[in-house]
Amino acid sequence: MSQLSERPEKSVVGVSMPHESAVQHVTGTALYTDDLVQRTKDVLHAYPVQVMKAHGRITALRTEPALAVPGVVRVLTGADVPGVNDAGMKHDEPLFPDEVMFHGHAVAWVLGETLEAARLGAAAVEVELAELPSLITLQDAIAAGSYHGARPVMAHGDIDAGFADSAHVLTGEFQFSGQEHFYLETHAALAQIDEDGQVFVQSSTQHPSETQEIVSHVLGVPAHEVTVQCLRMGGGFGGKEMQPHGFAAIAALGAKLTGRPVRFRLNRTQDLTMSGKRHGFHATWKIGFDAEGRIQALDATLTADGGWSLDLSEPVLARALCHIDNTYWIPNARVAGRIAKTNTVSNTAFRGFGGPQGMLVIEDILGRCAPRLGLDPRELRERNFYRPGQGQTTPYGQPVTQPERIAAVWQQVLDNGGVADREREIAAFNAAHPHTKRALAITGVKFGISFNLTAFNQGGALVLIYKDGSVLINHGGTEMGQGLHTKMLQVAATTLGIPLHKVRLAPTRTDKVPNTSATAASSGADLNGGAVKNACEQLRERLLRVAASQLGSNASDVRIVEGVARALGSDEELAWDDLVRTAYFQRVQLSAAGYYRTEGLHWDAKTFRGSPFKYFAVGAAAAEVEVDGFTGAYRLRRVDIVHDVGDSLSPMIDIGQVEGGFVQGAGWLTLEDLRWDSGDGPHRGRLQTQAASTYKLPSFSEMPEEFNVTLLENATEEGAVYGSKAVGEPPLMLAFSVREALRQAAAAFGPGGAVVELASPATPEAVYWAIQSVRQDAASRNEPTRDGAATAGHAGNGQVDGAVRTDAEALSGA
C-alpha cells in the first residue's frame, strides 16, 4: 500500500459523521456571502441594465436619466474600466459589451444607496440598439454553420474495417437539453477597499484564484492587491466555477471607484436569465455490432451548444468525447466534436462537465439498438463491458484500470436489488394491467477523475498549530455543501493523530493558499486532501523528533494516536498539548505549507491522446418505474445503487453525495426542460422557464419510494489520499437507469421488441408521445398492443429525426 493511501490506527477518516456546518445550516446561522452585507457599513447595491433583445449593436447608451433618480450614486460603463474590459479567460466576454449577444445581456450597472434605488436607476438608463439576426436554437446554429472554439477529433483503431466486420450497422440522431443549476444561493459578491487601496472580495465562487485573476485584470492591478474569500456556497454544481468572476469584478470596480463597499446579488430571475447552464448537445452516430451484439465500430459527431461565448465549452466538449465509451469497449472509433455559437447565455460547467452528455449518447444508442439486435438491453450492455486481462484502452488511449469493478458493482446491484425475481413480478404485473406498465433498467458508470487540463491537478494547504495544541487548516478548496471541509478536518486529524475537536478550518482565501484550482472535476478531496496531508506530515515529523527526545526513543519508533505520543514497547506517554508546548519552547516551526500534484497524467489536446485521468470511479444503478399509459406520468418505485468511492473518507457524506447526484441526474433526464422563445416576435431569445413555477425541479415527490445506496467494499484506491475516490460527479450518471426504465416501460405498451425513441428530458409529455408512437407503430403493422389499443396517434417525440435505421434502410429511403 502506498504512503498516500495507507491509514494509521484509529483513523478519523472513514468514520461517519455529519457535515461540519450541518447545525448552522439547519438553524439558519451559517453565513453566506450576501449575509455579510448586514455586517458592513455604507454598502452600495449594484443592479444590471439588461437589454431584452437576443442580438444587436448598441448605438447609444445614456446614463444621465439614472443619475437623476434619488439614491443613485454612479452608473458603471465600459469607460470606467481601468484595466481589461473582459470577464472571461478566453477574452471573448466583454464585461461591458458594445454588442448585445443574448436576451437579458447586461450592458451597464447602476450603484444605489438601496437596491430599490439601483433598480429604478437601471430602468431609467436609455439604450438604443440596432438589432441583428440571432440564432437561438442548436438547430439554428448547425444550419447556419455557426461554431467557435476547438473542433477535436478522437480516433482509435480502424473504423472502416470495424464497420466492414459488423453484422449490424445502425445509424441515428439524438438531441438533448441542458440543465439549470438552480443552486439555492444565487450569484453574490461583496467588495471592499482598505486604506491602502487593496481590494477584498467576498464571493460565492468555486474558483477564488480565478476570480482574483479576473478582478485584477479588470482593475489593472497586480494579483497581490486583490484578496478573494469564499465562506461557503449555497450550492454550486459547476455554475460558480467561471461565471462569478465578472460579477465579482463589477462589485470590485464599483468599490474602487466610489471607495465604498459594493454588494452584488442577482435575484432568481436574473440568475436564471443571465448565467449559463449545462450544455445541450446534438449527436449523429453510426454504430456497428457483430453477430453477438458486441460493438465493432462507432462514428459520431457531437455538437455542444456553447451559447454566446466560449467559457468552458472546449474542456466540456473534450470530456464529453472522453466519456462516450462509458463502461464499454469500443475497438474502433472516430468521434468528432464542435461547439455551436448561439445567442443565448454562455453555457458552462455543470456537475459531470460534459461526461454525462457523452455517456448519454452511448446509453441512448444501446437502449435504442437492443430491440433491433433482438437482445435484452441489460444483456447488450453486459456483453460490451471492459474486461480484465484484455489490455483494453479507451478511445483516447488510456488503459482502463480496475475493469473488474465494472462487472462487480453491476453484479452486486443485481443481487442486492433481487432483480431477477422483480423482473418476473414486473412481467406478471404488466400482463394484468393494460393501462399501467412497470419496467426495471440497470446502467453503469465509468467516470475519469482529474482535470483534463493537467496544470489544474495541483492543490495547496497551510496548516498552523498554535502553542495550546489547537490546529487551524487552510486549503484551496471551496465548500458548496458537498462536505469537502468535513473531509479535510478528518484528513488533518488522522494525519496528526489527534481528536477531531482539536482541528478547525478557516474560510478559503487567496492570501492563505495561492494559485489554487477550481473546486471541480470531483477532485476537491484528492487535491486538497493530498495537500493537507502533506502539510500535516511535515508537522508530525517535526513533532515526532521532539517527542522522541522527551521519551528517550528514536523518532521512527514514536506514534501519535488519539492525541497521545508513545514510543513502541514503552508505557511512557506525552500528551499532544504538552508535546506542542515543548516544541514551541524548543523553537520548532509549528506551521507548514502543504502541496500535492497528481502524478502520472499526460494529455495532448491536439492529438486527443493520453492518460488525462488518475483513475476511474465506477458504479451501477437499477431503477424501477411505473408509467400511466393515459398521461405518461410516472413514479420511481425503487432504486438500488452500488458505487465505488474507494475507501470512503467520510461515509455519511459520500452516501449523501450519491443520493443527491442521482436525484439531480434524474431531474436533468426526466423533468428539467429549458425553453427559449425561438419565434420571430418581440421576445425572441427570451428564456421562458425563468422561475420555479415554469422550470420543474426534482423534489421529495420525485424521490424513489425505496432508495438503497451501498458503497463498494474493499475498494482501496492506491493513488489517492487515504485510499479514497472522488464522489461528487460520478453518481449523477447513475440516473441513466431511470431514463432507460422509462423507455422499457413505454415499450411494454406495444408488441415485444418495440424500438422506443425517447426525448430528453423524458418528461411525462415525452413519455406519453413515446407510448403513442409505440401504439401507432403497432397499428401500422396490425399488431395488438399490450394495452389492447392499436391506436394511431402522435408519432413525434421531440427529437430531431430520432430514427434508428440500418444502412440498408437508409439507402432504400426507409
pLDDT tens digits, one per residue of 26-72:
999 999 999 999 999 999 999 999 999 999 999 999 999 999 999 99
Q: Cell numbers for 705, please give them.
A: 419510494
Q: Cell numbers for 103, please give them.
A: 436576451
Dihedral (CA of 142, 335, 289, 616) sign: negative
pLDDT in tens, 707-756: 999 999 999 999 899 999 999 999 999 999 999 999 999 999 998 889 99
Mean pLDDT of the chain: 95
Give pTM, 2 decimals. Answer: 0.95
Q: Where are the beta strands (DSSP E) in 362-470?
A: 436-449, 458-465
Share of the chain above pLDDT 90, in %: 93
Statement: residue 799 has pLDDT above 50: no
| Domains 21-27+458-597 and 394-454+613-782 equal at CATH topology level | yes
pLDDT in tens, 576-585: 999 999 999 9
Confidence (pLDDT) at 702? 87
Catalytic residues: 729
pLDDT in tens, 141-173: 999 999 999 999 999 999 999 999 999 999 999
pLDDT in tens, 412-460: 999 999 999 999 999 999 999 999 999 999 999 999 999 999 999 999 9
Confidence (pLDDT) at 752? 82
Statement: residue 794 has pLDDT above 70: no
Give the distance, in angstroms, between the CA of residue 603 and the centroid of all CA atoms in the same chain.
21
Instruction: Parse the chain into domains and list their residue ranges.
Output: 21-27+458-597, 394-454+613-782
Name residues whose C-beta falls within 8 Å of residue 748's C-beta, 6 or more positions apart in sequence. 430, 437, 438, 439, 786
Q: What is the mean pLDDT of residues 239-260?
A: 98
Q: Cell numbers for 59, please give them.
A: 448605438
Q: Let me know if domain 21-27+458-597 sits in CATH 3.30.230.70.
A: no
Confidence (pLDDT) at 362? 98
Q: Cell numbers for 420, please give them.
A: 431477477
Q: Cell numbers for 348, please give them.
A: 458552462
pLDDT in tens, 524-563: 999 999 999 999 999 999 999 999 999 999 999 999 999 9
Confidence (pLDDT) at 386? 98
Q: What is the mean pLDDT of residues 743-772?
A: 95
CATH class, range 394-454+613-782: alpha beta
pLDDT in tens, 332-369: 999 999 999 999 999 999 999 999 999 999 999 999 99
**Binning pLDDT at 50, 70 and 90, where does residue 480 land?**
very high
Q: Cell numbers for 703, please give them.
A: 424521490
DSSP 28: T
Rounded to whole angstroms, the Cα distance separating 93 from 699 reads 35
**Binning pLDDT at 50, 70 and 90, where does residue 813 land?**
very low
Confidence (pLDDT) at 780? 81
Statement: residue 218 has pLDDT above 90: yes
Confidence (pLDDT) at 788? 53
pLDDT in tens, 404-419: 999 999 999 999 999 9
Describe the strand order of the beta sheet including 634-643 as a list of residue ranges.
436-449, 615-628, 634-643, 706-711
